Amino acid sequence: MGSQAAITLENVSVRQQGVRILESVTTQIPARQVTAIIGPNGGGKTTLLRAILRLIPFSGSISFTEPNARIGYVPQRLEFDRGAPITVRDFLVMPRQRVPLWFGVSRQRRERAVEFLRQVRAEHLLMRPLGKLSGGELQRVQLAQALQEEPSIVLLDEPVSGVDVAGEQLFCELLEQVSQVRRLTMIMVTHDLAVVSRYASHVICINRRVQREGHPREVVTADSLATIYGATGLDRADAATFAEGDRR
């Protein structure tokens, strides 16, 4: 691997209810690049993110090159009551708010919320009820929340799942822009091979173990994807489409 590693994983294994989800995963996440984690359902992709976040027990070691690295996290689904009277502003200031929201929000906190929304082209959503947002809008708001922590590493779990084509393109463009401007290390779990082809600089194929990894053009081929995902006609067609598109 040419660049410095931001995260090093050595022999990481995860067992849940007696089932081995990850087995002896050894890899490095390159610093200040976008790394895509792909693989079949149940292959351990989200589990790997949760292990990096220390949300689940694991064996082996996960180390960070930067001491006390701050990590931002954008989950696949945000669980909340869509009928609750919570605005985007409330959502962004709550982690730092020391008094109940009904006492008001200081101008400094409000301006900070607007600034991070502006970075994801969503400042117009400030007073929108959280439950009224589209999938793409909600993902941008979650990204703004993650950036508030001033992270050097951002983890995203299926960030464009359920988002329409226009929203997907906008979100991925934002990721690319934010990662370059802030020089962030980004790790993104995704099933969208077009997103991998266009935006990722490093790919890790996971199916319990690391199957393959490297630059998309060198590693993710029609044959390797069909092997990892299963050799159905649809899988081979999708893999061939990805491989052909990446060569253009």
User: Are 233 and 159 part of one and the same domain?
Assistant: yes
User: Are 100 and 146 part of one and the same domain?
Assistant: yes
Write the pLDDT tens digit of every residue in 77-98.
Answer: 888 878 888 899 888 887 554 4
How many angstroms separate the CA atoms of 148 and 48, rounded?
Answer: 24
How many angstroms separate the CA atoms of 185 and 6, rounded?
Answer: 7
How many structural domains compose the chain? 2
User: Which of 183, 216, 180 is closest to 201 using CA atoms?
Assistant: 216
Q: Retrieve residue 126's tokens.
A: 């400030």
User: Are 204 and 104 part of one and the same domain?
Assistant: no
User: Are 24 and 36 part of one and the same domain?
Assistant: yes
Write the pLDDT tens digit of every residue in 194-205.
Answer: 888 888 999 999
Sign of the C-alpha dihedral, residues 34, 35, 37, 38? Answer: positive
User: Are 81 and 64 part of one and the same domain?
Assistant: no
Q: What is the DSSP string of 177-197?
A: HHHHHHT-EEEEE-S-HHHHH
**Given its phi and psi angles, is residue 84 left (phi above 0), alpha (psi -120 to 50 degrees) or beta?**
beta
* Phi and psi, residue 135, nearest 5°: -60, -45
Cβ pair 154, 85 in contact under 8 A: no
28 occurs within a structural domain: yes
Cβ pair 57, 16 in contact under 8 A: no
Task: Quote the domain boundaries for residue 38.
Answer: 1-69+153-165+182-248
Write the pLDDT tens digit of every residue in 218-248.
Answer: 877 777 777 777 654 444 445 555 555 444 4
User: pLDDT class for 185, splitting at 50, 70, 90?
Assistant: very high
